[in-house]
Amino acid sequence: MTRPIESFIRNLPKAELHLHIEGTLEPELMFRLAERNRITLPFASLDEVRAAYQFSDLQSFLDIYYQGMQVLIEEEDFYDLAIAYFERAHADQIRHCELFFDPQGHTERGIPFKTVISGLRRAQDEARERLGISSGLILCFLRHLSAESALATLEEALPYREWLLGVGLDSSESGHPPVKFEAVFERARQEGLLPVAHAGEEGPPSYIWEALDLLKVLRIDHGVRCLEDERLVARLAAEKVPLTVCPLSNVKLRVFDTMARHNLKELLRCELCVTVNSDDPAYFGGYLTENFLAVQRALGLGFTEIRQLADNGFRASFLGEREKGELLDEVRHYCAGFPQD
Ligand code: HPA
Ligand SMILES: [Zn+2]
């Protein structure tokens, strides 16, 4: 029998704020695109692909993630990828989504920036019209590449400024502190792009401080290692800086040994604005609803905590105040039919 809290989670209106669109490439689509683009994959079957998805840390995942995205060549491929994600998002009751994309993962292979963004944009337009999902694009710089490469990527993107919501920072964290990207973030902020950054996933609390002080980010992606620094927690709480936490990702990449050891409940107890997100769901074993279900089960979260997480998702989004208010009202109405604990 389905537990009441499970059906509550499944139908709860949600926002997704930490989702790499390239991380939604399911093995079936990877095979289909490889065939369409005449690319030879290093896997003989879907089972072989899935068997390769055993990771020991962030880097072991990134190696497979960059390999997977090589099947994305034409505008249509980026459209197919994103529309497949939006269909899943719709099934998860996602109302609003802020998507990361990694242009350097494509331009470095000779795929024009225009091809990437045009395909994503077409899927976003269709998602809004047909599925009622609003979305924004956040251009991520790959932190293992140089600051010059990041700046060149931003310049290449500026003709499409109106299609972009913000900029982010992802890829290999250790050894690539935010300070490396201070200038490019400054330039992006001058253009009105909203800054976020991955920090404190594998990297130390000092990377979170840098992201706040030097990149002036409005949200921290992951940020789970903040609990190692009391002063940092106090600041994040006082300034209500949202954390986009990704529970299944954290366990798959061994940030926590098991879901029962995840610190999400502790983060909530510290009055941080915690949100739940799916990161790279095709690689980590579940989309947004599965992330909510997994933390609920492992940490014994109640209705009130789950609702708090959903509310935080809309509050932490970059939507305008009116849209935020409407979506928070929708959550309130939905929750009225369930017990308060
Ligand atoms: O979880 C992540 N961390 C850093 N870089 C990434 N790129 C895709 N997913 C991730
Ligand atoms: Zn991420």
Q: How far, in Å, is the centroid of ligand 2 from the Cα of 338?
A: 32
What per-residue confidence (pLDDT) applies to 249? Answer: 98
Confidence check: pLDDT of 124 > 80: yes
**Enclosing H/E stretch for 100:** strand 94-101
Q: How are beta strands 243-245 and 194-199 bridged, if at all?
A: unpaired
Residue 24's pLDDT band, with cuts at 50, 70 and 90, is very high
Judge whether 270 lies within some domain: yes
- For the full predicted model, state whether its pTM sits above 0.90: yes
Render pLDDT for 80-89 as a digit per residue (tens, 0 to 9): 999 999 999 9
- Which parts are annotated binding residues? 18, 20, 198, 279-280
Pocket test for ligand 1, best of 19, 62, 99 (most atoms within 8 A of CB): 62
What per-residue confidence (pLDDT) applies to 302? Answer: 97
Judge whether 150 lies within some domain: yes
**Enclosing H/E stretch for 148:** helix 147-157
Residue 16 contacts by C-beta under 8 Å, 6 or more apart in sequence?
89, 94, 96, 97, 98, 277, 278, 288, 313
Confidence check: pLDDT of 1 > 80: no
In the Cβ-directed half-sphere of 190, how many Cα atoms lie within 13 Å? 9
Confidence check: pLDDT of 339 > 90: no
CB burial of residue 255 (10 Å; 0-12, 13-18, 19+): buried
Q: If you write DSSP's letter for every residue of 261-308 in order, what string do you get?
A: G--HHHHHHTT--EEE--BSHHHHT--HHHHHHHHHHHHT--HHHHHH
- Look over the chain and give the mean of its residue pLDDT values, rounded to a whole number: 98
Judge whether 176 lies within some domain: yes
CA angle, 129 then 135 then 141, to 5°:
145
What residues are labeled active site?
201
The domain spanning residue 104 has which CATH number? 3.20.20.140
Please state, in angstroms and as integers, the Cα–Cα distance from residue 280 to each residue in 62, 173, 205, 250, following that order. 10, 16, 23, 11
Q: What is the signed CA dihedral for 174, 293, 14, 137, rounded to 10 degrees?
A: 30
Residue 60 contacts by C-beta under 8 Å, 6 or more apart in sequence?
none
* Among protein residues, the one whose CA lies closest to atom 7 of ligand 1: 171
Mean pLDDT within 99-122: 98
Judge whether 206 lies within some domain: yes
Using an 8 Å Cβ cutoff, are 103 and 130 in contact? no
Judge whether 223 lies within some domain: yes
Q: Which domain range does residue 307 map to?
A: 4-335
Q: How far, in Å, is the centroid of ligand 1 from the Cα of 171?
A: 5
Residue 191 contacts by C-beta under 8 Å, 6 or more apart in sequence?
158, 161
Tell me how many domains the chain contains. Answer: 1
Q: At what angle do helices 147-157 and 113-126 cross, to 10 degrees?
A: 60
Confidence check: pLDDT of 341 > 90: no
Judge whether 188 lies within some domain: yes
Judge whether 341 lies within some domain: no
Structure tokens belonging to residue 311: 């509310």
CB burial of residue 159 (10 Å; 0-12, 13-18, 19+): exposed
Mean pLDDT within 113-139: 99
Judge whether 340 lies within some domain: no
Structure tokens belonging to residue 23: 């991380």
Helix, strand or coil for residue 217? coil
Share of the chain above pLDDT 70, in %: 100
Residue 175 contacts by C-beta under 8 Å, 6 or more apart in sequence?
none
Residues flanking ligand 1, CB < 6 Å: 20, 23, 58, 65, 170-171, 198, 201, 249, 279-280
Render pLDDT for 146-179 as a digit per residue (tens, 0 to 9): 999 999 999 999 999 999 999 999 999 999 999 9
Structure tokens belonging to residue 303: 């209705």
